[in-house]
Amino acid sequence: MIHPILLCGGSGTRLWPLSRKSYPKQFARLMGERSLFQASAWRLSGEGFAAPLVLTGDPFRFIVTEQLAAVEIAPAGILIEPEGRSTAPAVLAAALHLARQDAEALMLVAPSDHVIPDADAFQYAVHAAVPQAQNGQLITFGITPDRPETGYGYLELAPGGEATAERPQPLSRFVEKPDAARAAEMLAAGNYLWNAGIFLFSAETIIAAYAAHAPELLARVREALESAQSDLGFCRLAAAPWGRVEDVSIDYAIMEKADNLMVMPYGAGWSDLGGWDAVWLESGPDDQGNVCSPQATAIDCSDTLLRSESEGLELVGIGLQDIIAVAMGDAVLVAHKSEAQRVKEAVAALKSRGAAQAIQLPRDYRPWGWYESLVVGGRFQVKRIVVNPGAALSLQSHHHRSEHWIVVEGTAKVTVDDEVRLISENQSVYVPLGAVHRMENPGKMPMVLIEVQTGGYLGEDDIIRYEDVYARG
């Protein structure tokens, strides 16, 4: 049995404005009806695969459970990292967690934001690598390159290794991201593969590698796991020891030092969607080289990506060539395709100005559903709030604002101080400043309401929680 380990804590700034710190690219529907995270979980399911173990950050824990439930996959566990520490600590935490039940268990470590169109071919490659992984080898997956790519690291095969083989091959070394000239040389040489950041090994083999090459990291991660706390089905790694863990990738900490390495070649299609240029390529451009979302129109354009990500917002490009244009309700990106990797510079510039768009989506996802601001004024704010079936907001009050709720879809169960009542469509309720209140959806369909806030301060930190089914402070 292969145990998928899904890593989903990254921020994905190169796909801004769709991907932001509050809702990174792995949870977005970039390619089709499923998010990248859902597609990854689905791809690593079925015969021969155990339920996935997920590592993520606290802000995403309920997004993870909701998205897995939507594709009918129950996780084996969800480990919450107190803060991001790159892949080496995350993989080790998963290995130690898994080894508690079965030290010989095979782990397939995979980022959750990659695109692998042919799931059957990938599963075939994984199963082909199992014998060597059971034999104590650390297997990394290498992608057959089809262009001189400068955005990926490379894997150099050892003499005699075959880049198109259907079984693991001897690996010579890891190669950093090259410049264009060096990338062309490696493509021509034929003995280099792209480093996909996907690994297969047993829990005991990788733990032994940490003991040999990163003993201090092993001690601190073990302490963080041993002091972890269970919270609503999540496993929260202890913050204090985790805060002392080195921020380092598994390549640097282990793989570049280990001598029991092999690489499994894979050539049936893969992308890490590391930029909008990759999204354009993977989306299948038309005869003119254009990719347009349903609410985008290209007129006399070529080799261009046009995406409107907001309902009711039409995006039109005229006479464009090699352009990326992504429009959302609060931000628009326009860039030459050759400059796609510089989008993260834009995010940094927005952060330096204190612009909320740098990290926050207009739609804010919460454990109970989501909300978005429709209008914001000096002393008022209008929101659309969607509450999932059976979900409830916390029992709370506010120091600085009052609220008026108008139900537009479904039925709300509303508590205001000592009064509890049902509010149906086209009905409303007033929540005075300081009143203890709660909103619930007792129905089986999403409930939608419009909230009008008034007051001198409308920040989300003006919340005093008395009870919360999601254990938020």
Indicate whether 449 belongs to any domain.
Answer: yes
> In this structure, what CATH number is given to the domain that contains residue 140?
3.90.550.10
Return the DSSP state at 348: H
pLDDT, mean of residues 446-469: 93
pLDDT at 42 over 90: yes
Indicate whether 355 belongs to any domain.
Answer: no
| Bridge partners, 440 (sequence order) | 392, 413
Domain end call among 308, 326, 350: 350
**Is residue 365 within 8 Å of 435, Cβ to Cβ?**
no
> In this structure, what CATH number is given to the domain that contains residue 428?
2.60.120.10
154 and 79 in a common domain? yes
296 and 257 in a common domain? no
Return the DSSP state at 340: G
456 and 309 in a common domain? no
Of 3-7, 150-154, 430-434, the one with minimum mean pLDDT is 150-154
Nearest-10 crossing angle of helices 215-226, 203-213: 130
pLDDT at 11 over 80: no
For 125-135, write each residue's pLDDT tens digit.
Answer: 999 999 999 99
* 3-class DSSP assignment, residue 148: coil
149 and 9 in a common domain? yes
**Is residue 383 within 8 Å of 372, Cβ to Cβ?**
yes
368 and 307 in a common domain? no
Return the DSSP state at 259: S
Indicate whether 276 belongs to any domain.
Answer: no
Indicate whether 396 belongs to any domain.
Answer: yes
Neighbours of 130 (CB within 10 A): 17
pLDDT band at 473 (very low <50, low <70, confident <90, very high): low
Domain end call among 328, 350, 372: 350
R_g (Cα) of the chain, nearest Å: 24
Helix (H) or strand (E) holding 112: none
Q: What is the dihedral of CA 254, 256, 259, 260, to 10 degrees?
A: 60
142 and 10 in a common domain? yes
Alpha-carbon dihedral sign for residues 163, 168, 170, 174: positive
Indicate whether 321 belongs to any domain.
Answer: yes
pLDDT, mean of residues 183-209: 95
CA angle 116, 120, 122 (to 5 degrees): 50
| Bridge partners, 77 (sequence order) | 53
Number of domains in the chain: 3
Indicate whether 274 belongs to any domain.
Answer: no
CA distance 134 to 126: 12
Structural tokens at position 33: 């009806």
Indicate whether 201 belongs to any domain.
Answer: yes
250 and 295 in a common domain? no
139 and 24 in a common domain? yes
Domain end call among 237, 266, 295: 266
253: CB partners within 8 A, 6+ apart: 88, 210, 213, 214, 217, 246
36 and 126 in a common domain? yes
CA distance 442 to 410: 9
Domain that holds residue 342: 285-350
Output the CA–CA distances (angstroms, integers) from residue 29 to 115, 304, 319, 431, in the order listed: 12, 20, 28, 36
332 and 449 in a common domain? no
325 and 198 in a common domain? no
pLDDT band at 232 (very low <50, low <70, confident <90, very high): confident
238 and 298 in a common domain? no
